[in-house]
A and B are shown apart, each in its own frame.
Chain A
Amino acid sequence: MTSSPDITQLLILWSDGNQEALEKLLPLVEKELRRLAHHYILRFRPGNTLQTTAVINEAYIRLVDQNRVQWQNRAHFFGIAASMMRRILLNYLRDNKRLKRGGRDTPISLSEAIILSPEKSREIIALEDALCGLEAIDKHKMRVVELRYYGGLSVEETAEALKISTITVIRDWNFAKAWLAREIRNE
């Protein structure tokens, strides 16, 4: 396990409102998430889904010195990592789909080591389409879903990451869940 003091410091600074720290933090977190996601994909058994929460958790443990941070810092870290993981998972699914159709002009990539079950792929892509629809109507509720679903954050952590009350998180989450269930059923 390695932890970079720079990243911990950047996370603390950003949690205190320093936007410059966030700009430095984003690429570092994204790089680690991509690297770990690759590892997870290699370790997969066929049919499994990339566990975005597990990847973020491992990145957090590797990058951040646990002794120097508070739970709020963790919520902020997971807050930025959740949307990155959503993107990484989606790219991976799209690659997978493209490869299955046989369209390839690049060398074999690591993501070919695993074939996601078609059912699970469809579920995630249906969710993605519905989430894009939600983003167009209510970006705020989309973020709540992103943090809860892809980031695995608790209600309290989501409230901290988005700077809203826990009751608002609960209401947004319930309404978004209903809306997504409705959209996905209608497809």
Chain B
Amino acid sequence: MSKKYWNRIAAIFNAALDLCPEERNIYLLNSCSGDFALLSEVESFLYAFEKGHFFR
């Protein structure tokens, strides 16, 4: 994963965390603008963040 791509995922991830579920979906679709690989990558981070048990 390139650093640029990594930073982009991080930026979208962090912005999405601040939003409520409805706003989040719209934001994700807009910010990933048709790039479904990027969208699923960001979603996997959000999912792991919410389900991850490692740190509390």
Contact = CB atoms under 8 A, between A and B. Distances in A.
- Say whether chain A's binding surface is mostly helix, strand, loop, or mixed: helix
Interface in B11-48: 13-14, 17, 44-46, 48
A187 to B, nearest CB: 12
Nearest to B53: A181
Nearest to A167: B14
Contact of B14 (A175, A182, A185): A175
Interface residues of B, number: 17
A174 B17 CA distance: 9
Contact of A182 (B1, B48, B55): B48
Interface residues of A, number: 16
A90 B13 CA distance: 31
A94 interface: no
Interface of A: 123, 127, 137-138, 149, 171, 174-175, 177-182, 184-185
Contacts of A185: 48, 52
B13 A177 contact: no
27 contacts: A127-B54, A137-B3, A137-B6, A138-B3, A149-B55, A171-B14, A174-B13, A174-B17, A174-B49, A175-B13, A175-B14, A177-B52, A177-B55, A178-B13, A178-B46, A178-B48, A178-B49, A178-B52, A179-B45, A180-B52, A181-B48, A181-B49, A182-B45, A182-B52, A184-B52, A185-B48, A185-B52
A123 B55 CA distance: 11
Contacts of B53: 181
Contacts of B17: 174
Contacts of A171: 10, 14
